[in-house]
């Protein structure tokens, strides 16, 4: 198993959190196989893999029963491991090839309205202090680019290109993409970089990250979450909206598509490997069109 995890870390560039999840999943799998007297991968059959899937859904192996989404991730880890063993010549068959992960009901992404986003951004800072300028720039950038929170806090000064109006983001697996930034977000960034960041940077050791905390160190994901939660509270957004950094990412995609953007362009800006992932947002747009039609067309109910 260690060789497979090393492969994922080096060749696939998976994050530490994802690797830890895979290690837990495969640990549960190998324990299940051991309980069936199977200590060699080549002895595993399709029946064993299917039995494991049933066990993790019901908790029959003594572990916590998993939801369809968690079980799907676990089966994906198991199938990846068996494919790796086959490719490495350590087994002659892949017993997991015919075992399909449970179907996960795809939930529509949650998006704010344009008016709610406007209220959120206006509430991002209450003053022109260094942290106030930082908070406004951070939230403006998240909505302007659809960046993941990890991508935003990982930005360094060299990733910003004011002349082209774009910035460079590094997504999952350190995959690089270039994303345009709107004027209002650039204005907020400029204000922070000129008036706010130097003050914060003077308290630290000159790190290259764009967003800094009050000690001059890189802003953490947790602190960035806190910035958003405080802004949502000041904006009076309902608690049941559960506004998160991903909410701004969803809103970015939904608003672009509603405005007529091509789904493949949105795919590129979001950094999705497959357009299928991005197409979930088109469902939101269709629902909006249906609502407008139902409330506006004189014969919609005729």
Using one digit for the tens of pLDDT, what is the confidence trace for 125-150?
888 999 999 999 999 999 999 999 99
pLDDT tens readout for residues 204-244? 999 999 999 999 999 999 999 999 999 999 999 877 678 88
Range of the domain at 10: 2-87
What is the token pair recorded at 185?
A: 């977000």
Please report whether residue 268 resides in a domain. Answer: yes
Task: For 133-168, give one letter per residue: b (16+ CB within 10 A) or e.
Answer: bbbbbbbbbbbbbbbbbbbbbbbeeebbeeeeebbe
Q: How many domains does the chain have?
A: 2
Do 81 and 173 share a domain, yes or no? no
Pair 132, 9 in one domain: no
Please check whether residues 121 and 191 belong to one and the same domain.
yes
Compute the average pLDDT of residues 185-213. 96
Residues 222 and 126 in one domain: yes
Residues 121 and 71 in one domain: no
Same domain, 151 and 255: yes
Residue 201 scores a pLDDT above 70: yes
Task: List the CATH number of the domain containing 255.
Answer: 1.10.443.10
Residues labelled as active-site residues:
148, 172, 246, 249, 272, 281
Q: Is the pLDDT of residue 57 over 80?
A: yes
Six-digit token pair at 32? 């299940």
Residue 195 has pLDDT above 90, yes or no: yes
pLDDT reading at 168 higher than 90: yes
- Say which CATH number the domain at 64 has: 1.10.150
Residue 302 in this model has a pLDDT that exceeds 50 = no
**Per-residue pLDDT tens digits for 249-272:** 889 988 888 888 888 888 888 888
């Amino acid at each position: 198993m260690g060789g497979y995890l090393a492969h994922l870390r080096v060749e696939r560039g998976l994050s530490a959190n994802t690797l830890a999840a895979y290690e837990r999943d495969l640990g549960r799998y190998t324990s299940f196989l051991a309980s069936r007297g199977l200590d060699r991968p080549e002895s595993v059959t399709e029946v064993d893999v299917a039995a494991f899937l049933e066990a993790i859904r019901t908790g029959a192996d003594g572990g916590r029963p998993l939801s369809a989404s968690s079980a799907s991730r676990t089966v994906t880890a198991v199938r990846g491991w068996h494919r790796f063993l086959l490719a490495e010549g350590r087994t002659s068959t892949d017993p997991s090839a015919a075992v399909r992960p449970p179907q996960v009901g795809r939930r529509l992404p949650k998006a704010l309205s344009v008016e709610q986003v406007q209220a959120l951004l206006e509430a991002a800072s209450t003053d022109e202090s260094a942290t106030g300028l930082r908070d406004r720039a951070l939230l403006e950038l998240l909505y302007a680019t659809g960046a993941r929170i990890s991508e935003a806090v990982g930005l360094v000064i060299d990733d910003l290109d004011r002349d082209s109006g774009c910035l460079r983001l590094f997504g999952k697996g350190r995959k690089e993409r270039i994303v345009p930034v709107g004027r209002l977000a650039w204005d907020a960034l400029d204000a922070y970089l000129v008036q706010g960041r130097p003050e914060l940077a003077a308290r630290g050791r000159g790190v290259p990250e764009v967003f800094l905390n009050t000690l001059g160190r890189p802003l953490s994901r947790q602190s960035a979450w806190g910035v958003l939660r405080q802004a949502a509270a000041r904006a009076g957004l309902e608690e049941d909206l559960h506004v998160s950094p991903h909410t701004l990412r969803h809103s970015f995609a939904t608003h672009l598509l509603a405005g007529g953007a091509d789904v493949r362009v949105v795919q590129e800006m979001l950094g999705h490997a497959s357009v299928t992932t991005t197409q979930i947002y088109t469902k939101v747009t269709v629902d909006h069109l249906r609502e407008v039609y139902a409330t506006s067309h004189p014969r919609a109910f005729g």
